[in-house]
Amino acid sequence: MINNATKVIAIANQKGGVGKTKTTDIIARDLASNGYSVLVIDWDPQKTLTAQFGINSNDIKNTPHDSSSVFSDGIFPQPKRVTIHESGDIFLDMLFASSSLMEYAQSGMSAREVKLRNYIKKISKEKIYDYIILDTPGSLGVLFTNAMLSADIVVLPIQTAKAATDATEPFFKELIALEEQFENKLEKIIAFGNMYNKVATHDKEQLEIIQKDIPLYIEKQKKLGNFEGMEFLVSKEIPTRTVIKDATGNGIYLREYIRLYSNTKSNKELLEAYNEIFNLITGVKFNNQKIRGK
Q: What is the pLDDT of residue 200?
A: 97
36: nearest Cα among 132, 121, 153, 148:
132
> How many residues appear in the chain?
294
Q: What is the pLDDT of residue 1?
A: 30
Say which CATH number the domain at 24 has. Answer: 3.40.50.300
Residue 127 in any domain: the answer is yes
Q: What is the pLDDT of residue 288?
A: 79
pTM for this predicted structure: 0.94
Residue 256, φ and ψ in degrees, nearest 5: -70, -40
Residue 60 in any domain: the answer is yes
Q: What is the pLDDT of residue 292?
A: 47
Q: What is the pLDDT of residue 88?
A: 67
Average predicted confidence (pLDDT) for the chain: 92
Q: If you ran DSSP here, which 8-state letter would residue 63 be given?
A: S
Residue 46 in any domain: the answer is yes
Total domains present in the chain:
1
Helix axes 20-33, 265-282, angle to 10 degrees: 80
Residues in the chain where the model's pLDDT stays below 70: 1-4, 85-88, 289-294
Residue 147: domain span? 7-155+239-290
Q: What is the pLDDT of residue 94?
A: 97
Residue 59 in any domain: the answer is yes
Buried b (16+ CB within 10 A) or exposed e, 228-263: eebebbbbbbbbbbebbeebbeeebbbbbbbbeebe
Residue 120 in any domain: the answer is yes
Q: What is the pLDDT of residue 294?
A: 41
Beta strands in 139-207 (DSSP E): 153-159, 188-196
Residue 85 in any domain: the answer is yes
Share of the chain above pLDDT 90, in %: 82
Per-residue pLDDT tens for 44-103? 999 999 999 989 999 999 899 999 999 988 788 999 999 886 666 789 999 999 999 999
Q: What is the pLDDT of residue 84?
A: 83
Residue 69 in any domain: the answer is yes
Q: What whole-number distance in Å separates Cα of residue 123 and Cα of residue 191?
A: 28
Per-residue pLDDT tens for 172-191? 999 999 999 999 899 999 99
Report yes or no: 155 and 281 within 8 Å, Cβ to Cβ. yes
